[in-house]
């Protein structure tokens, strides 16, 4: 049996002005979500290589994640904030904050829960159905 793999380089239209911190593919489309040291999170249409939306943190955006679909995006950054962004409306909502930088965000569609990890040595769970923090887990060191 023979497997052939073809790699194609794609250059992003309107790329971030600084290093990329995370790249995520949408769960049910070909959209691409990118966070960057330039304080932005950007949504791209991968097939058309077009930047669809952009939103900003006050300082570097360290991570990003899709929610249940490409119409629900999350990001966290050095500004200690966790942001929900809705590309169809352009609405930006502050989900919550940590006392230090938010290093990672991850969404569980099965539970409707957003998880954020921070350099303040905590992991917070946010119930996105009620937009409230439901639990905070203190850990022994910064979350990377």
The gap between the terminal CA atoms of the chain, to the nearest Å, is: 41
Give the per-residue pLDDT at 70.
Answer: 86
pTM beyond 0.75: yes
pLDDT in tens, 16-61: 999 999 999 998 888 999 999 999 999 999 765 799 999 999 999 9
Tokens describing residue 94: 């502050």
Calculate the dihedral angle through the C-alpha atoms of 76, 89, 112, 60, rounding to the nearest 10 degrees: 0
pLDDT in tens, 75-114: 999 999 999 999 999 999 999 999 999 999 999 999 999 9
Cβ contact 16:40 at 8 Å = yes
Give the per-residue pLDDT at 113.
Answer: 95
């Amino acid at each position: 049996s023979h497997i052939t793999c073809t790699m194609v380089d794609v250059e992003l239209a309107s790329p971030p002005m600084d290093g990329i911190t995370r790249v995520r593919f949408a769960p049910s489309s070909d959209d691409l979500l990118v966070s960057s040291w330039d304080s932005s999170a950007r949504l791209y249409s991968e097939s058309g290589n077009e930047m669809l939306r952009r939103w900003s943190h006050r300082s570097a955006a360290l991570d990003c994640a899709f929610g249940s679909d490409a119409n629900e995006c999350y990001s966290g950054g050095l500004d200690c904030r966790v942001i929900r962004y809705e590309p169809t409306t352009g609405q930006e909502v502050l989900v919550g904050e940590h006392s230090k930088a938010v290093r990672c965000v991850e969404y569980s569609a099965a539970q409707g829960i957003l998880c954020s990890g921070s350099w303040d040595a905590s992991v917070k769970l946010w119930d996105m159905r009620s937009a409230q923090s439901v639990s905070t887990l203190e850990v022994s060191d910064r979350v990377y």
